[in-house]
Chains A and B, each alone.
Chain A
Amino acid sequence: MGMDLNVLIGGEAGDGVRQAGYLLGKAFVRGGLTVVSVFDYPSLIRGGRNLHLVRVSDSEVSAPRRGVDALVALNGDILGSFGGEVRPGGPVVFDSDASAGAEPPGRAAAYPIPATSWAREAGARRVVRNSAALGALLGALGYDLDLLLSVMGDEFPPEVYRVNAALARRGYELAARNPLPEGMRVEPVGGRGDRVLITGNEACALGALAGGMRFYAAYPMTPASPILHYLAGVQREAGIGVVQTESEIAAVVMATGAAYAGVRAATGTSGGGFSLMVEGLGQAGATETPLVIFLVQRPGPSTGLPTYTSQGDLLFAITASQGEFPRAVLAPADPEEAFYLSAEAFNIAERFQIPVIVITDKHLAESYFTVRAPDPSRVEVDRGELISGEWRGPGEYLRYALTESGISPRALPGTRGAIVKQNSSEHNERGWAEENPDTARAMTEKRLRKLLGVREALRGRSLEVVGDPDPEVTLVGWGSTRGAVLEAAARLRERGRRVRFVRFVVLWPFPSEEAQRALSNAGEIYSVENNATGQLARLLRMETGIGVDGTVLRYDGRPITHEDVLEGMGEAI
């Protein structure tokens, strides 16, 4: 077994715990290691307890795991609460000026750093303490400080860099006098420039841009807000419109207006905001407007756990809004896939003139993952049957012309000679409201026919199937649990078990045929989900008749680990 270290950084909100974990993670990635880091924070601005669990390994890990191998405690509360969890001999770095009443556990390798005093001496803000602590951790681990400094240099303006770098160096030098024993050190394995450390939200935003999104409207809601923040930050260089609206209702409708006008448009939110968007989602379906919605799940019901993770909105996403209309629901597992699927969502939306939901969760959206750098040149843009220039007939332009595919060639308002009428009421081919039974039936069938095309377009990439061709156990799942499931599967294989993993990338239209193939001769089937009721398992039964033999469910707001999967299957960890 290679190097695999779980570093817990803890402090109060406002201590820069997120940033510290990010800097540390990136320093490791620049040294060729693989990082996945989970930021755990309550819904507070200041105070409270912020934790950043940075897992670093020399093998390809993509999920958090249990246990603490190293602790960076920015106050006594963290030191007292988590010091005891550190494995024997593990490093405990703490601010000795801010830990009154708490002691590092006797069996740990203690690294007291007078970080508050150093910050004061430097005349700097208190938040720079975390740089001293990071430096000390790297000194203890014997890691290359320059990698951390290079990250700081990229992240901070020069004057901020100077004070942080000085404190990191001071911490490093102090700790390096007593480095950890050989077996506990972390060494760079050589740079690998083809990889990035990125969150799911950032990857969704970048994928959307690569896919040509030029308009984003959203109302702030955790944990989807970082998409809005990122896009707002780059709107000028990207040349896109970003509007923070008065509500999620306004957001989904404004994006629909922009999409009708011919711009690739999206909105993003979490469950509560998505609830408000539901009528607007149906409007996009009824009016056949291409629209992309990023749905970043968090635990409900209602306000729920705003800053934690969940996969509780699957059945809601595929059924939301009254009536029957086609939609697509895509579920990336990591930031790399999130990038490509977010771009592809706009192709599906435009080709079939439907709403497309990209469903993620807080864990994928806000955790940092080490992935291959997405390649924008792999993104293709297909706008579907779009009429450009001038309408030349024959006859008058019909926005909802009945066709075999169900897709009506789409003119944009402003096309000379074409009058483009969209209608949320049932309508005829022109777009005039019409209520006669023949029209209602024909239009319903026309819209639903498009789903056949969507299914065809997504065939071959709706499922990820990996592992044994003749399994005794098959794990099914979707979204961000992939890393944990793969890790559990690897453990089982080490024990001689034949294991397959079937992951649903496309949740709607449900890939029934592919699922039936992948789940025939599957052995025992377990569904692994971050929800309480096994929604994928229920959907699978509804669409294919296939029942699972067991479920592994976690619904406490925390991401699933491979230990959870093994435990849930009744296996040893």
Chain B
Amino acid sequence: MVSVAELGTAKKNTWCPGCGNFAVLQAFKSVVSRLGLEPWEVVVVTGIGCHGKIGDYLALNSFHTIHGRVLPLATGIKLANPRLTVVGFAGDGDAYAIGIGHLPHAARRNVDLTYVVHDNKVFGLTTGQATPTTPLGMRTRSTPFGTPEEPINPIAAVLAMGATFVARAFSGDLRHLEEVLERALRHRGFAFVDVLQPCYTFYDTYGYYRERVYKLEDDGHDPSDWNEAMRRAREEEVTGGERIPIGVFYQVDRPTLLDRLPHLSGVPLVDRPPRVDVAGLLERFR
């Protein structure tokens, strides 16, 4: 089993002190270690944004892709080699602005991978512009008069898209974040985790969340009940921000894309010979 320390690298960390990304990094290393995964059997796919550096800080296979494209890249990797544990990390700009077009399709396909969104409700790396989860009216460098657009509700949206695992965690509660990530990695299918985290430099929300979050599992939530999951997903809006649930909203067992493609089960594509016999296919053109 690989230790948490062995999962780190010598790369100098350039996240701002106090950044929520540290908690995600720490929690993920713990989970990889706890699950007994071999480092070379895990692939991390990261998008563009501060979160995207996480690959450099992990002694794991990684692919730092272009802005918004974590999901299709991760999907291609998993379909090619299902033995790999594939985990995508994206920011809220990455996942909900430029890359949101991939989200419903990842949910529909239900490829066995985990998608962790570092949701700090602001673009940090490009120095503080609004994202789709920025609260209405918030002033940022790109919205000096306040954002005029309603924020999206990622949990409700992904529930509606039909994802088989939908969860939220808070970077200020490391142990709970670890539990949620572990359940996500153990889920067979597309596991979505929205991580509420502050951007210490551009949008510090530590105190705000700490006063409002509560754990679904402590509140008797049944994660097999989609309607109840949707009600809880809207709780923050409905209560005017009084109560913000974290934990697993919804989980269901459904066949993955590979389960539905029997010709791809068995020998992984990567292990098949790099040559297809086309002699028979060519005969049909005579």
Contacts and interface: CB of A to CB of B under 8 A. Distances in A.
Interface stretch (B16-24, B38-46, B143-151, B191-199): B38-46
Interface string A245-267: 11101110111111111111100
Contacts of B275: 210-212, 379, 381
B252 interface: no
B79 A241 contact: yes
A478 interface: no
26 contacts: A30-B286, A196-B282, A206-B282, A214-B276, A217-B72, A241-B261, A253-B69, A257-B73, A257-B75, A257-B78, A258-B77, A259-B76, A260-B77, A261-B76, A261-B77, A262-B270, A263-B81, A279-B66, A374-B282, A376-B277, A414-B83, A422-B63, A423-B62, A424-B65, A431-B62, A432-B11
Nearest to B69: A253
B97 to A, nearest CB: 14
A417 B40 contact: yes
Contact of A257 (B55, B63, B261, B284): B63
Interface of B: 9, 11, 38-41, 43, 45, 53, 55-56, 59-66, 69, 71-81, 83-84, 101-102, 104-105, 261, 263-264, 269-270, 272-282, 284-286
A383 interface: yes
Interface in A213-268: 213-215, 217, 234-241, 243, 245-247, 249-251, 253-265
A309 B41 CA distance: 46
A420 interface: yes
A240 B101 CA distance: 26
A72 B79 CA distance: 48
A263 B270 CA distance: 5
B202 to A, nearest CB: 21
A261 B40 contact: no
A421 B72 contact: no
A449 interface: no
Contacts of B66: 253, 279-280, 282-283, 424
Contacts of B282: 196, 206, 373-374, 376
B281 A383 contact: no
B285 A433 contact: no
A259 B39 CA distance: 20
Contacts of A374: 282
A254 B62 CA distance: 15
B274 A258 contact: no
Contact of B76 (A154, A217, A418): A217
Given A214-B274, A241-B264, A383-B274, A432 B76 contact: no
Given A257-B80, A261-B81, 13 more contacts: A210-B275, A240-B276, A241-B269, A256-B73, A257-B79, A261-B80, A373-B285, A373-B286, A413-B40, A414-B83, A415-B40, A419-B60, A431-B62
A258 B59 contact: no
Contact of B84 (A195, A261, A417): A261
